Chains A and B, each alone.
Chain A
Amino acid sequence: MQGSKNITINFIINDEIFNNITVPVRQHLGDFLRSIGLTGTHIGCEQGACGACTVELDGKAVRSCLILSSQINGSVIKTVEGLDDTLMKKVKEIFLKHNALQCGFCSSGMLITTKEILNKKKKLNREQIRTEISGNYCRCTGYQSIVDAIEEAIEDNIKDI
């Protein structure tokens, strides 16, 4: 019985299947994603505080800097590059409409967090939206425009129910 320094794993990222990929066990998922060219995921604080590196792991938002690559064996991952369904295309348009980004560093994390908020199919007031995105720092917008965008995205998403 021995632990290993490298591990060979299988996973799916943005609908693409990766088989028998060998990664150093200490490399975190955010660095791994960037090493294979998926640089839409941004690495900020590497201690779970800023939220810039948020990606979707098995349908749930997680911090990619706090997940070791060795932990993703058998998982399905979605990054900002994979947000191309009708719903998320619309959400990106709404973000643009409200100028809910300036430098764009937080946007990939904000969009993944917004996706998780929309999954709940629940109307939230502005205070609740602020609580939901409290784990995502934005140093440009002052959050006002991001809250505007998420508010509209929620309205848009639940209007058909």
Chain B
Amino acid sequence: MGKGGEEFIMKSPDFCYYEALSIEDAIKFKSNDLESVILAGGQSLVPALNMRLSSPSCLIDISKIKELKNITKDNDFIYIGSAVTHSEVMQNKIIIDHLPVLIDVLDMVAHPAIRNKGTHGGSIAYGDPAAELPAFAVAANAEIILMGLNGIRTIQASDFYHGLFETDIQNDEILTSIKYPILKDNQKILFDEIYRRHGDYAMAGVVANIEILNNEINNLKLVFFATGTKPEVALKTSELIIKDGYDYSNVKNMIKTELDFESDLNSNAEMKLHLATILTNKILKLMET
């Protein structure tokens, strides 16, 4: 263990720190220094730095920018600012009233001490394949709002994730907010995951966006996470379930054909395929209650 102070053993690499005063200020800095990265809450970035998995030239701290710390709502959408912490989202009246499922999801995101600092935009932008929020954003048909040198750009969450920790954010861009459609009366989002310890990354997880018509599933969008390199929509599996309902072998075969499974430290690809299948059944049972 390091003594602290002057002695650094297995500590983060050397970088510089810049506290951005405004969104424009952060964009300017980022586009001038292509090796710099954005620091919001740092709850994924700082561990990566401590383990030397990342060595940026500079950290641009956006956590003090007021415009990024709001949660607002209009008739059709809820907007969560990228620097709002998970704890703040969980206690927000708009979220409690209009998107309460997000609170259940966030309850699975790490532990209270990490949620007090980790941010909504940070988790979405980091794109950890085992994280809950990227999958939630994809399932909820959220749009990601980015700001860059050329102004504002909006992209569907499902198009935002390219691969392992790879997103559509360009060098001069900053994620400013996430726009969630308000759920219709006959629509709900359900969520479940299997983990080894409460708050740890999931071994496999699923978020389902379900529309009910005359007591039947009219529309279903299953999104799996902690299964591959990014959150993935299982379109054919969703269609199969609407048509034939749940059958372990059929669902497992369909998930296997349409998703790419990757082993990680928690479980291997075969295990993840099994868990994804079981979770699909758990979600359908949840729907009935």
Contacts and interface: CB of A to CB of B under 8 A. Distances in A.
A7 B43 contact: no
Interface residues of B, number: 46
Interface in A29-49: 30-35, 43, 46-48
B4 A48 contact: no
Nearest to A70: B17
A47 B16 contact: no
B113 A62 contact: yes
B87 interface: yes
B11 A134 contact: no
Most buried by A among B8, B12, B113: B113
Contacts of A140: none
A31 B198 contact: no
B51 interface: yes
A87 interface: no
B15 A67 contact: no
A66 interface: yes
B199 A25 contact: no
Interface string A67-106: 1101101000000000000000000000000000000000
23 contacts: A1-B28, A3-B15, A4-B17, A5-B16, A5-B17, A25-B17, A26-B11, A26-B12, A34-B5, A35-B5, A46-B50, A47-B50, A48-B47, A48-B110, A57-B116, A60-B117, A61-B112, A63-B43, A68-B17, A71-B42, A71-B61, A113-B112, A135-B112
Give the 6 A-B CB pairs with smallest separation, nearest first: A135-B111, A3-B16, A35-B5, A3-B18, A31-B4, A25-B17
Interface of A: 1-5, 7, 25-28, 30-35, 43, 46-48, 51, 54, 57, 60-63, 65-68, 70-71, 73, 113, 116, 130-132, 134-136
